[in-house]
Amino acid sequence: MSEILVKIKRQDGPKSKSYWEEFKVPLKTNMNVISILMEIQKNPVNAKGQQTVPVVWDCNCLEEVCGACTMVINGVPRQACAALVKDLKQPIVLRPLTKFPVVRDLMVDRNVMFENLKKIQGWIPIDGTYDLGPGPRIAPARRDEAYPIATCMTCGCCMEACPNVNSRTTYIGPAAIAQAKLFNTHPTGAMNKEERLDAVAGDGGIVDCGNAQNCERVCPKLIPLVSIIAEMNRETVFRGFTRWLKGKPQKAAFDEPIG
Amino acid sequence: MSQTYHYLVRRLHSFAGIFPVGIFLLMHLFINSFALRGEAAYNRAVGFVNNIPGLVYLEILLIGVPIAFHALYGLWVTYVTKTSIFQYYYFRNWMFYLQRLTAVITLIFVVWHVWVLRIVRVFTGTEMTFLTVQAWLANPLYLTFYIIGLLAAVYHFSNGLWSFLVTWGITIGPESQRLTLYVCTVIFILLGIAGINSVYAFIR
């Protein structure tokens, strides 16, 4: 029976030193990287024949829509569930994402992506004390523009491949910028357009993009991140100019204390 | 507000790369090309530039300060990048890396170039003529460094122009970005040929 050679970069805890461990896994038909990891879990013996602890990884949907099993597979960030063994060069090299803190082995903490979504206000505020009624209709053209961005699963591939997302910057990355466009495209979301644009133009915002365009190349959802960032560049430039040229909106007179 | 400041500075950096630094590079290469018409024509062109009223102030305000800002802030921009060209062999990733590599080469070249051919002149009082440049380029080491510096500067300008159009949200879609890639490649080739041709006029 043939075997697959797998090299895994392991780390016992957030502060532990990383090390490489090799495994030989029996080849079965239709295997993906997740099933390799499951084989190791069943029989945690490394290539040297030594007993070891099973490799820890994160996964959920197993159909490339949740992004949980994202790791660096043969040098490219992608989902382990969608990485089929028959398409991969051996030895298969697995590493945790490098732009996020490692929890253990292949499991990382991508909380920073959630924080970035909060920064750009990645939601539509409709909560209130009374029924606001139906929202405005969305033009089909806007919907077509928005749908691909809505497939983003916050997997972190774009951040992993971006040379400007690293420990020296606070760059929020392509995913968060794209989400700002998604919610600005929605007619109800557009009511908070300026706030999102100001966040995108803020610290660690869109200006940290250096046009390396790796994000679009590695995006598993084929989101046109390059065009989205370029369009947000235009929007923030216009926003910056109008904000400065027009000045802040004048408050109504009765807001001001008299005397 | 620090947020607006970061955005503004980074955008000014992009803007300064073309206006005035890029425009100055084009003018400089244009003046150099007078060497192709012979010694007298070159000396007349240089003489014209040297007789521009308020030249020193223009040099400092329109060239020196913007270049210094573009270069120093650009060094910071280069520092905060982590190279990944051997992990991601994508065309634009390589262009992105080369943009930063040529930035450093161009900076070293420009500092040296300005020191030997402009600032030292102020102290020694020598005139800038065809013969001065000819004697300088006769050194094969200087000549090699000059050609490397020239090509680095021209690449940095051409690719920077492409990048400028994306950064300011002018070329948004893939088609427009592809077209400007072709245009900027042609600009790189033409400026490279023009620059080397002018150098050749001094050493033939």
Tokens matching residue B119: 């600032």
| Strand A3-11 relative to strand A92-95, pairing | parallel
CB pair distance less than 8 Å for A230 and B11: no
Q: Is residue A86 part of a domain?
A: yes
- Of B7, B87, B166, Cβ closest to residue A240: B7
Number of domains in chain A: 2
Number of domains in chain B: 1
- Of B90, B96, B172, Cβ closest to residue A227: B172
User: Across residues B60-78, what is the average pLDDT?
Assistant: 97
pLDDT band at residue A252 using 50, 70 and 90 as cut-offs: confident
Whether the pLDDT of residue B117 is over 90: the answer is no
Distances (CA, A) of B4 to A86, A121, A206, A250: 50, 18, 12, 21
> Which domain covers residue A129, as residue numbers?
111-246
A96, A123: one domain: no
Look at residues A80, A108, A136 and tell me which one is the last residue of a structural domain.
A108
Give the pLDDT score at B3: 57
Using an 8 Å CB-CB cutoff, list chain A residues near B10: 207-208
Higher pLDDT, A212 or A256: A212
> Which domain covers residue B72, as residue numbers?
2-203
A103, A222: one domain: no
User: Across residues A211-234, what is the average pLDDT?
Assistant: 98
A139, A215: one domain: yes
List pLDDT tens digits, range A4-21.
999 999 999 999 999 999
Whether the pLDDT of residue A257 is over 90: the answer is no
pLDDT band at residue A120 using 50, 70 and 90 as cut-offs: very high
Single-letter residue type at B10: R
CB pair distance less than 8 Å for B96 and A213: yes
Single-letter residue type at B194: A
Q: Is residue A256 part of a domain?
A: no
- CATH (domain of A233): 1.10.1060.10
Longest dimension (CA), chain A: 91
Give the pLDDT score at A256: 64
Give the pLDDT score at A78: 98
User: Across residues A216-231, what is the average pLDDT?
Assistant: 98
CA dist B17 and A75 (Å) reads: 34
Residue whose tokens read 């697995």: A94
Which strands, in side-by-side order, build the sheet including A92-95? A18-26, A3-11, A92-95, A70-73, A76-79
Count Cα neighbours of A98 within 13 Å in the Cβ-side half-sphere: 19
Higher pLDDT, A97 or A126: A97
- CATH (domain of B165): 1.20.1300.10
